[in-house]
Amino acid sequence: MIDPNDSPTSQQASSSTKKADADKKAEPVGFLSHLIELRDRLLKAVIVVGLVFVVLFPFASNIYDWLAAPLGRDLIIIGPVAPFLIPMKLTLLVAFLVALPYLLYQLWSFVAPGLYKHEKRLVYPLLASSVFLFYLGIVFVYFVLLPMMFQVIPQFVPETADFKPDIAQYLDFVVMMFMAFGIGFEMPIATILLISTGVTTAEKLKEKRPYVIIGAFVVGMLLTPPDVISQVMLAIPMWLLFELGLFLSKFFVVRVKEASDANAARNDDKNTAATTASAGTAIAADKLWEDDNYIFEEDDENNDSDSSSDLNDEERSILNKDPLDDDANDEEYLPEEESEGSSSDSDTEESFFESDHFDELSDEEMEAELDRIDAEEETDKIVEQKAKNRAKKKAEEEQKKIDDEGP
């Protein structure tokens, strides 16, 4: 008795089901692994910021005194807990700025494995330049803008008032200026990204330079306090940095072109691998056969040699004769008289049915023979499908190898 579960079709169905279950189990594991890595890197970033804060906290009062130096006058305290909370808030912000390169390093380490080499060559200088420009904006505010502002603003104070800002309001004002100029100094990065991604070109931006200058003053009006000095001091550097971005974009366009060529080469490799895999699938499907346990590959040369060895000399001479040869004797290939041929054929047919070699099949035997033929056809289909699966798997491995190596 043959167990239906042991048939090739049932075995293939069970293996497909197991593979699908394994894929379903593998997907959440990969997603969870990324979440775990993100959690670990966030924890590292928080720990580093906390350590820097712990180190700087004993110097919180000194840090605030350093921040208030551009004001050039005494401050007042209104809140009851402001003497403790405001210096601690400032120290936490300073700890974040000090640890910012490490935070960006953790972000880069999380994202970099998913990038190709040419993409890393493009992103790394932009990331490093953005951090440098943000720090440059803060330095510009502290050493240039704040001293200039607090030399002009006290001149407008009425004689009946005393100009002494609160420490909390002064901190909020300075932090807002730091953020506004830090973001405004990112103008070269924005210009380079617009040009390198193909949104616009350097020539079009040059034609729209007047609109860019007006936009810089509008941004300065929105990001800075309502005074002309800070607005002008932000708009002019943004315009100059825009011109710097136009100049530096020429070098990044070259890198973008190299990245595009590398991406095109990678796509060509993918297409070549896919074409090779499809050709291999067709060849393998024609040259494979299997029994219950093993898969075999036909040997055309051996089969040809074996078949040719079974022929006698007369048959070889007939096969080797050129059919286009006019000197060939056509009579050798002409059939005999129709009457004689038909009588000999009928005699042969009658003798075959009258001989002991002919046994008429019963209905059960005929049905069994048809079932056997169907089973052979089904087996051939399974063999062809397995060959295609192996070729597809091989193509995926080659593609994975190409992706790992990069362009």
Query: Does residue 50 surpass a pLDDT of 50?
Result: yes
Q: What is the pLDDT of residue 72?
A: 81
CA–CA gap between residue 364 and residue 186 (Å, rounded): 86
| Tally of domains within the chain | 1
Residue 221 lies in a domain: no
Q: What is the pLDDT of residue 390?
A: 86
Q: What is the pLDDT of residue 334?
A: 46
Query: Band of the pLDDT at 1, cuts 50, 70, 90?
Result: very low
Cβ burial of 212 (10 Å; 0-12, 13-18, 19+) is: middle
Residue 19 lies in a domain: no
CA–CA gap between residue 372 and residue 385 (Å, rounded): 20
CA–CA gap between residue 70 and residue 139 (Å, rounded): 12
Residue 10 lies in a domain: no
Query: Band of the pLDDT at 174, cuts 50, 70, 90?
Result: very high
Residue 85 lies in a domain: yes
* 3-state SS, residue 141: helix
Q: What is the pLDDT of residues 177-236, one digit of tens each?
A: 999 889 888 888 888 888 877 778 888 888 888 898 898 888 888 877 777 877 888 888
CA–CA gap between residue 183 and residue 138 (Å, rounded): 10
* Rg (alpha carbons) of the chain, rounded to whole number: 42
Query: Band of the pLDDT at 154, cuts 50, 70, 90?
Result: confident
Q: What is the pLDDT of residue 102?
A: 92
- Average pLDDT of the chain, as a whole number: 75
Range of the domain at 104: 32-114
Query: Does residue 352 surpass a pLDDT of 60?
Result: no
State the Cα angle at 182 between 181 and 188, rounded to 5°: 95
Cβ 166 vs Cβ 80: under 8 Å: no
Mean pLDDT of 318-347: 51
Least confident of 148-152, 161-165, 359-363: 359-363
CA–CA gap between residue 5 and residue 9 (Å, rounded): 8
Mean pLDDT of 323-339: 48
CA–CA gap between residue 207 and residue 200 (Å, rounded): 11
Query: Does residue 337 surpass a pLDDT of 50?
Result: no
Residue 282 lies in a domain: no
Q: Tell me what percent of the residues of the chain surpass a pLDDT of 70.
A: 64
**Cβ-based neighbours of 304, under 8 Å, separated by 6 or more:** none
Query: Band of the pLDDT at 59, cuts 50, 70, 90?
Result: very high
Query: Band of the pLDDT at 286, cuts 50, 70, 90?
Result: low
What is the identity of the amino acid at 22? A
Cβ 231 vs Cβ 217: under 8 Å: yes
Residue 27 lies in a domain: no
Residue 46 lies in a domain: yes
* 3-state SS, residue 174: helix
**Cβ-based neighbours of 155, under 8 Å, separated by 6 or more:** none
Residue 390 lies in a domain: no
* 3-state SS, residue 50: helix
Query: Band of the pLDDT at 333, cuts 50, 70, 90?
Result: very low
Using the structure block, give the residue that is written with the tokens 């000090």: 98
CA–CA gap between residue 378 and residue 365 (Å, rounded): 20
* 3-state SS, residue 395: helix
Mean pLDDT of 14-31: 52
Mean pLDDT of 82-94: 93
